[in-house]
A and B are shown apart, each in its own frame.
Chain A
Amino acid sequence: MGCCFSSEEDKDQDVPHANERTPLLDPSQADHIHQIQGGRASRNSISQNQKGDEQSEFTRILRQTAINVIDVTSSDSQNMEQGEMQDRATQYSNRLNMVLSASGRSRVFQPNLPTGITSPQMTLTAPPVSLSDVQLISSFSEKCSNAACEIKIQHKESLVVTFGVP
C-alpha cells in the first residue's frame, strides 16, 4: 500500500480519496508544467527551475508541516514579552487613527439596518403588528422553551453494575 505501484491490487484506485499522499502531489503540478516548458526553451533554465522548484517545494513542505503540527503545550509559553506587546499596541493605536481619518469614515459609524428592510419609511408607516400575532409568537416561544426543558435522556437500565461485595 505504501508503494506507488501497488495500485494493481488496490481496490480503492478509482476512488480519488484524499489521503496523506494527495496534497504532496497536487500543488506541485503547476511547477512540473513550468519545468517542462522551461526544458523546451533552454538547458540552463532547467537547472535553474529545478533549483527554484526544490526551494519552493522545501518552503511548501516546511510551511505545511508547521500548519499541521498541533502544539498542545504552547498555551503557556505563548505569552509575549511586555515590551513587544506595548510596542505593538502603540503601533496599532497610531495606525488606527491614521486609517480611520483616511478612510473618509469621519462620519460616525452607523449600525446597519436589519436584514430584509430595504426602505425604512415603508416599514415605519406600515400598520403595527396585530395583537393576535404578538400572542401567537409569545405562545409559540413559550411552547418551544417548555419543549426544550423536556429534552432528557430516556432511562432504560442502570449504567452501573455493583459487584456482590458483602
Chain B
Amino acid sequence: MLKPRALSDVLSQANTGGIGSTLLLNSEGSLLAFSGFGDKDASAAGAIASNIWTSFQKSGQLSLDDSKLDCVLVECKLGKIAITKVANLLLCLCSSENVSFGMLKTKITAMSTYLEEPLSQIASS
C-alpha cells in the first residue's frame, strides 16, 4: 500500500520556482494524487492531459517507426505542462508560463525516476 502523506510530500517537492501543481493520474485520466497551490480544476486538466498522452502515444506507434513515447511538453498562453509515464500511471507537472521547458523536463524526469520503483511495486502487487 502507498502512504498517501509520503506520496504527496514527494509530489510537493517539485512545486517550486513557478511549478504550481503535480498530479498523478491513472490510465483513464482520473486523478489519483495531487499536490499544489490553488485549486484550479485539476481533474479536467488531468483528463485532457491523459488524452493528449494516449493520442500521441498511439500515433507515434503507428507513424514513427513504432516509437515509444517518453515525455510530452505542452505550452499554452498562460502556462506549461509536462507529462510522462511512471509504471502504469501518468505524472503531470503544471507550471506558469515563465518556467522554461528545460527545468520542467529535468524536474519531471527526476520525479519519474524516483517514483518508478515504488509505483511499479504497487502496480504488480
In the complex they form, whether A and B have CB atoms below 8 Å apart is answered with: yes
Query: A residues touching B (Cβ–Cβ < 8 Å)?
Result: 70, 72, 75, 148, 151-161, 163
Contact A159 B13 (CB under 8 A): no
Q: Shortest Cβ distance from A26 into chain B, in angstroms?
A: 20
| A153 and B111 in contact, given A159-B2, A159-B10, A160-B2 (Cβ under 8 angstroms) | yes
- The interface-forming segment of B35-43, B64-72, B75-83, B114-122 is B114-122
| A160 and B1 in contact, given A153-B110, A154-B13 (Cβ under 8 angstroms) | yes
Q: Which 7 A-B pairs have the closest CB atoms?
A: A153-B114, A159-B118, A72-B51, A75-B55, A152-B110, A160-B118, A161-B1
Chain B neighbourhood of A160, CB < 8 A: 1-3, 118, 121-122
**Looking at the complex, which one of A148, A156, A161 makes contact with B9 (CB distance below 8 Å)?**
A156
Chain A neighbourhood of B13, CB < 8 A: 153-154
Interface 0/1 of B92-107, CB less than 8 Å to A: 0000000000100011
Query: B residues touching A (Cβ–Cβ < 8 Å)?
Result: 1-3, 6-7, 9-10, 13, 44, 47-48, 51, 55, 58, 102, 106-107, 110-111, 113-115, 118, 121-122
Chain B neighbourhood of A155, CB < 8 A: 114
Assembled-state Cα–Cα distance A153/B8 (Å): 12
Chain A neighbourhood of B114, CB < 8 A: 152-153, 155
Label chain A's interface by main secondary structure.
loop
Given A152-B114, A153-B13, A159-B7, 5 more contacts at CB 8 Å? A70-B47, A153-B10, A153-B114, A159-B3, A159-B6
Q: Which residue of B lies closest to A154 (CB)?
A: B13
Q: Which residue of A lies closest to B11 (CB)?
A: A153
Q: Which residue of B lies closest to A152 (CB)?
A: B110
Label chain B's interface by main secondary structure.
helix
Assembled-state Cα–Cα distance A7/B7 (Å): 41
Chain A neighbourhood of B7, CB < 8 A: 159
Residue among A151, A153, A157 with max Cβ neighbours from chain B (10 Å): A153
Chain B neighbourhood of A148, CB < 8 A: 102, 106
Contact B122 A72 (CB under 8 A): no
List 7 A-B pairs, Cβ < 8 Å.
A70-B44, A75-B55, A148-B102, A151-B106, A152-B114, A155-B114, A160-B118
Q: Which residue of A lies closest to B48 (CB)?
A: A70
Assembled-state Cα–Cα distance A41/B114 (Å): 72
Q: Which residue of B lies closest to A155 (CB)?
A: B114
Chain A neighbourhood of B1, CB < 8 A: 160-161, 163
| A72 and B121 in contact, given A153-B110, A156-B9, A159-B2 (Cβ under 8 angstroms) | no
Assembled-state Cα–Cα distance A139/B87 (Å): 37
Assembled-state Cα–Cα distance A159/B113 (Å): 14
Contact A156 B6 (CB under 8 A): yes
